[in-house]
């Protein structure tokens, strides 16, 4: 409850959180504020300027006022987490990079390698020349590139969970076909939204959305392609009547017969050294990982398929805490610093 | 709020609801109580005897005391809805049938044609000779058999939703492969359950269960076989943090290329005359069908698959209101009588 | 699911529901649609024109398009339920009354007898001359006036529950002082509301609002005054993380010593003949009365005070179903017609 | 996610958490596990022995097996947090004290000074001779006694919130009369409870319980008496459909006229130096303080009364984190160590 940031010694970096008035930005601000080795240099927003963040989000105990992002703020910082909407993010990231800041970008702007694919799903890209330097920040699958990167594209929440569920199979060439059924809490839909996000329309409800096409599909396909699986995938997301939490089921037709014990052994081995990923005996609940950077993965056969289920907190590992995990690596800090 | 049952003229049948202390039985009792042409002859239970049903479940306004089921009660009735656990149900149904009652059984005891399959998934069957006369009560797929039946096996909630989602494709031989991802509210887990059903373990949570094998799989496979698809299916159920509601996604590899408009046309035509099934333009929410016998089905392509989504209320169309729908048909009443 | 309204014979009245795009209006439309003796002549709204009501609210199965209210519609109807915001309602009601319609108004515009009090809490009153003819529609306390009325001011949800809890004490002159602590589901806040009503801000939350002054206070005080208690009251409302439901606790300093048995007897007797109010042995839950016109009242001593607790569904008895209850009386129908 | 406890240097104490299979005990175990200066020596339980705590409660990441409490464990420890039911706790606490451990007891066994009062509300007291040495651990009101204590009776959750709301008024002799309306999430009801705690009975529900008499009433009255107010109070608790969170409204008849600004100033001043209590401008939501040791207090006039509202997390400040706050003081650590 104290107003001074609880730092251990000299901070490793002064960090701006830009876009801190949204759900992911506000959480990123809290994580940086509580981080023993990062100084929260400023929280900025395009709206709500002048509001203290702990008034806008009492649950995030960050006693700083939201400011407007400007050159002075950027020049005074070493790094930034940018939580802007897609298309709005790229020019801000470009300016920050131009002034030497290390940046983790939570938007989709630097996730897709191919600007044509980005344009097809999102919008014209204002900074395509930055795509080459951006590392894709699914930490566990791309740790070495993240470590050396100065710009990290933080993955989408669905791709994070889907790829942690699928990677052990994809890496072994065991996927012939995959269907992804994903469920998420309402915080994944972000602020705004009007009556669609009204409590009354979501309480005691559950439904699929964007059944025919969702922007996270090309992101998942890009990651699978890098692991050797190049077929189109089916991906259907849902909203559930809860705040935070995400459960992603991947139904895989395997390229050879597999039994549950072999699968468990594969996943147990793959994630043995990972500080935040655990292969679980029982199907995970989203409450098990709420308010943490953890991902619990469960694998088994079910009828003729293999099913791999990943549970994460969409706001944490699916967004803000994974951003801090990546920033830790970029700054040479212990990857787990400031995280649970 | 009156204590007398609101009947229009002489009832078509005096109906016992046996097992009325459970969630499905209690709702069945309310539906019979409110039904204009059925008399609720008695509500019975193996526990809670002497308790008024509207004390046990204030939301169900049935002012009758739970009695112990005995021969007198059975002899005084024309029909029964039995909501006992599997294995406990069969002998009670046999006695009722022996005394001439028409019976709708909510348990699994008469759903599976093959007693060996039943024994593999459930328990030894005490009344296998009754299997031949039992009609499988998924009303929309089996209306003619239900109409002439004296014993109806009411389907499981998951098979109800799954088959209403899949039938239009299966009937046309369009299914090459199917994965079923099903989500349900907690009432589907029934009374009891101890700490597993404690509010605190389910609030803000969501998880899969019985991932490797669930008893509804053989029931779904039996129904698909009758429509010409004989391959094993993958079925994974989940619990969601809501009371009533069920959403079942069926991911189908089609036998030929299909586009969404053709699929919508197929489903629209198939269900055009159905009073309780609607093919919807938008993905349905479970709140849309709560407290009704309705099933909303949505179909589209998603990547290389066809996805068919059915939303029902697990306690209504998935159990008690479908039982009344079947009883209406068995008694020669209008199928929609007493239902919404 | 049929498109024709399920009427028994010639309707007693053709009814417009004006403002049917809001929560209370939409429910009123469904109740009129399902009513055996009322014809739903039109559903109108100031926004969402042309939208079918069962698309806007799938849970309300009313297959009519929202129209703009005009003179033709008014002239073609016998009665109306008006669900407009305060101040917007009065001129519409005036026009309807001018053309002879019986009207139940859900807004605050005709609840307060004294236009000065109305202006202090709401806005200037455009039709003060109509105040004299308006009956206050808390049916159980004012049945005779409602029966003869052509304009009924439907009470606020909080005053409905508070007065049903307090009336037996007030009528006997037993109240020396009263504190009202009221809790309500989110539907009570109505459509709109933006981020304040976002699921994420309300899930797992509970809080008081308008602690120092709420517009329902003068309405409660007016009703208490008519029963002989003229002191100011303390009233603090809260929002709870549920959709429908309202629980109102009234803490009364009694004018003489009272014990629980005497209180139970007083309440039991007072509400013995009421079709929708029940004095309960156990404290009522809001789920007990959800989706009904019922009010469950529980009374007991607690320390030196008497506590009287009323549970209603804020959208039903607190708004739309009480409107139908009143309309039934105004039209000479059985008060319980079309209601549960 | 590492299995070794994250300690900074030599621990200040080796701490047993006894009764760690319950909600409060499990959280206490996590808080001690994460504490930089306390070593979690053992987690014990009367049931679930041999189960790893992070299997029983995945959300609490404590990788220790639940053991049976025995003399060896007690002798190897310096302090204990005991989370047993009342009556079961006292003899365990007595044994621990006999072996020199500092103890924070979460049960009611040492809260009430007068053993006759304890017996009237709970059960015969097996260790009345320990009552004299027990400090009542409402930290903010009793910090000096806690600091020197070897046995602390941790307050009930309702008394914690109620007294933090009332203390500024009571200390100034401003209370003539008080009504306490308290609402709590379901975790407050503890493990077990069977069907009463079934999700289905609590979802979308809210209700009062123990309206006529609740065991926390004498505890609140004892605390008020020490601040000079000796009249009986009215206290009515409720359960809300959420997991963690508690909102306690105190309606006070003041001994003299008071306005909101004076009240805000009184509360602001009273809690200015407190690390965990904040006087808020807006009515607090329980989500604002979830998963923290914070208490947000809001005060205002409402009609003729003063209303003081306190929001806490019933499991944290209402139980386990307040226990750690007290243990910090008893051990000479900074009071805020290991807490948020």
What is the per-residue pLDDT for D3? 74
Helices (H) and strands (E) in chain D, counts: 11, 14
Residue from the list D2, D288, D294 with its beta carbon closest to the beta carbon of A1: D294
What is the per-residue pLDDT for C8? 86
What is the crossing angle of helices C157-171 and C260-270, to 10°?
A: 110
Angle B160-B161-B165 (CA atoms, 0-180°, nearest 5)? 120
Contact A303 B242 (CB under 8 A): no
Which of B166, B139, B136, B134 is closest to B151 using CA atoms? B134
Q: Is the CB of residue B252 less than 8 Å from the CB of residue B213?
A: no
C-alpha C100/C-alpha C80 separation (Å) is 10
What percent of chain B shows pLDDT beyond 70? Answer: 99
Sign of CA dihedral A32, A38, A44, A45: negative
**Cβ atoms within 10 Å of C84's Cβ, excluding its own:** 23
Q: Is the CB of residue C236 less than 8 Å from the CB of residue C208?
A: yes
Give the distance from residue C237's alpha carbon to the nearest chain B alpha carbon, in angstroms.
25
**Cβ atoms within 10 Å of D173's Cβ, excluding its own:** 12
- C298 shares contact with chain B (CB less than 8 Å): no
Of the residues A162, A204, A312, A316, the best mutation for testing chain B's interface (the one with the most B CB atoms within 10 Å of its CB) is A204
C-alpha A30/C-alpha C117 separation (Å) is 47
Contact D243 B203 (CB under 8 A): yes
Of the residues B31, B52, B56, B59, the best mutation for testing chain C's interface (the one with the most C CB atoms within 10 Å of its CB) is B59
Q: What one-character DSSP code corresponds to residue C262?
A: H
* Residues, chain C: 340
Q: Catalytic residues of D, which ones? A: 157
N- to C-terminal Cα distance for chain D?
20
What is the crossing angle of helices B157-171 and B139-148, to 10°?
A: 100
Give the distance from residue C316's alpha carbon to the nearest chain B alpha carbon, in angstroms.
14
Retrieve residue C72's tokens.
């033709």
Beta strands C13-18 and B305-312, pairing class: unpaired
Residue A105: C-alpha distances to residues A81, A86, C212 (Å): 6, 10, 44
Which residues of chain B does D241 touch, with a Cβ-Cβ cutoff of 8 Å? 199, 203
Size of interface B-C (CB pairs under 8 A): 38
Q: Reduced to 3 states, what is the DSSP secondary structure of residue A69? A: coil
Residue from the list D198, D203, D242 with its beta carbon closest to the beta carbon of B191: D198
Residue from the list C187, C192, C199 with its beta carbon closest to the beta carbon of A202: C199
| Cα–chain center distance at D237 | 16
Find tokens 């206490």 and name the residue.
D28
Reported ipTM: 0.96
What is the per-residue pLDDT for D2? 47
Query: Each residue of B238-292: pLDDT tens digit?
Result: 999 999 999 999 999 999 999 999 999 999 999 999 999 999 999 999 999 999 9
- A23 shares contact with chain B (CB less than 8 Å): no
Q: Reduced to 3 states, what is the DSSP secondary structure of residue A196? A: helix
What is the per-residue pLDDT for B261? 98
Chains touching A by CB (3 or more pairs below 8 Å): B, C, D
N- to C-terminal Cα distance for chain A?
20
Residue B287: C-alpha distances to residues A76, A241, C33, C257, D96 (Å): 51, 11, 20, 48, 54
What is the per-residue pLDDT for C2? 47
Q: Residue A187's closest chain C neighbor by CA?
A: C200
Which of C78, C135, C38, C41 is closest to C333 using CA atoms? C38
Beta strands C207-208 and C234-239, pairing class: antiparallel
Give the distance from residue B123's alpha carbon to the nearest chain A alpha carbon, in angstroms.
21
Of the residues D200, D207, D313, the best mutation for testing chain B's interface (the one with the most B CB atoms within 10 Å of its CB) is D200
pLDDT-derived band at A312, boundaries 50, 70, 90: very high
* Cβ neighbours for D222, distance < 8 A, ≥ 6 positions apart: D111, D112, D113, D117
* Cβ neighbours for D181, distance < 8 A, ≥ 6 positions apart: C181, C249, C251, D236, D238, D248, D249, D251
DSSP code per residue over C116-149 = HHHHHHS---S-GGGGGGEEE--HHHHHHHHHH-
- A302 shares contact with chain B (CB less than 8 Å): yes
Which of B260, B312, B308 is closest to B285 using CA atoms? B312
C-alpha B186/C-alpha A81 separation (Å) is 39
N- to C-terminal Cα distance for chain B?
20
Q: Residue C3's closest chain B neighbor by CA?
A: B275
Q: Please indicate whether residue B332 or residue C9 has the higher confidence score (pLDDT).
A: B332
Give the residues across from D309 on adjacent strands. D249, D298
Residue from the list B1, B275, B288 with its beta carbon closest to the beta carbon of C59: B288
Q: Is the CB of residue C180 less than 8 Å from the CB of residue C162?
A: yes
Helix (H) or strand (E) holding A212: none
What is the per-residue pLDDT for D48? 85
Q: What one-character DSSP code corresponds to residue D228?
A: T
What is the per-residue pLDDT for B47? 86
Phi-psi group of D302: left, alpha or beta (phi > 0 → left; psi -120 to 50 → alpha; rest → beta): beta
| Average pLDDT of chain B to the nearest whole number | 96
- A251 shares contact with chain B (CB less than 8 Å): yes
Contact D199 B186 (CB under 8 A): yes
340 residues of chain C, pLDDT tens digit each: 447 898 988 999 999 999 999 999 999 999 999 999 999 999 999 988 899 999 999 999 999 999 999 999 999 999 999 999 999 999 999 999 999 999 999 999 999 999 999 999 999 999 999 999 999 999 999 999 999 999 999 999 999 999 999 999 999 999 999 999 999 999 999 998 889 999 999 999 999 999 999 999 999 999 999 999 999 999 999 999 999 999 999 999 999 999 999 999 999 999 999 999 999 999 999 999 999 999 999 999 999 999 999 999 999 999 999 999 999 999 999 999 999 9
- D260 shares contact with chain C (CB less than 8 Å): yes
- For the CA atoms of C90, C94, C96, C99, the dihedral, rounded to the nearest 10 degrees, stands at 180
- For the CA atoms of B273, B276, B281, B287, the dihedral, rounded to the nearest 10 degrees, stands at 170
What is the per-residue pLDDT for D6? 87
Which of B153, B214, B219 is closest to B189 using CA atoms? B214
A1 pLDDT higher than 60: no
What is the per-residue pLDDT for D1? 41
**Residues of chain D whose pLDDT is less than 70?**
1-2
- B273 shares contact with chain C (CB less than 8 Å): no
Contact B241 D199 (CB under 8 A): yes
Q: Is the CB of residue D131 less than 8 Å from the CB of residue D119?
A: no
pLDDT-derived band at B1, boundaries 50, 70, 90: very low
């Amino acid at each position: 409850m104290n107003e001074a940031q609880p730092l251990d010694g000299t901070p490793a970096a002064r960090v701006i959180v830009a876009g801190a008035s949204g759900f992911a930005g506000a959480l990123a601000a809290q994580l940086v504020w509580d981080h023993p080795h990062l100084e929260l240099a400023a929280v900025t927003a395009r709206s709500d300027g002048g509001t203290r963040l702990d008034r806008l989000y009492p649950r995030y105990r960050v006693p700083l006022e939201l400011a407007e992002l400007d050159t002075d703020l950027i020049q005074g910082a070493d790094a930034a987490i940018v939580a802007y909407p897609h298309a709005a993010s790229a020019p801000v990231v470009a300016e920050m990079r131009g002034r030497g800041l290390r940046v983790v970008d939570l938007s989709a702007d630097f996730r897709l390698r191919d600007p044509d694919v980005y344009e097809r799903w999102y919008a014209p890209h204002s900074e395509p020349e930055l795509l080459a330097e951006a590392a894709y920040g699914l930490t566990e699958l791309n740790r070495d590139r993240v470590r050396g990167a100065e710009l990290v594209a933080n993955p989408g929440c669905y791709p994070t969970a889907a790829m942690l569920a699928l990677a052990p199979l994809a890496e072994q060439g065991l996927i012939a076909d995959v269907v992804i059924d994903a469920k998420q809490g309402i915080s994944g839909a972000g602020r705004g939204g009007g009556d669609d996000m009204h409590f009354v329309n979501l309480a005691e409800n559950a439904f699929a959305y964007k059944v025919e096409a969702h922007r996270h599909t090309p992101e998942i396909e890009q990651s699978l392609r890098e692991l050797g699986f190049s077929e189109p995938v089916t991906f259907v997301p849902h909203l559930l009547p809860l705040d935070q939490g995400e459960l992603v089921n991947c139904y895989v037709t395997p390229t050879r017969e597999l039994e549950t014990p072999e699968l468990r052994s594969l996943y147990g081995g793959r994630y043995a050294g990972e500080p935040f990923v655990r292969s679980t005996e029982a199907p995970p609940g989203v409450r098990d990982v709420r308010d943490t950077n953890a991902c619990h993965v469960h694998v088994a056969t079910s009828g003729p398929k293999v099913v791999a289920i990943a549970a994460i907190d969409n706001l944490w590992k699916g967004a803000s805490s994974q951003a801090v995990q990546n920033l830790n690596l970029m700054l040479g800090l212990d990857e787990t610093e400031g995280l649970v």
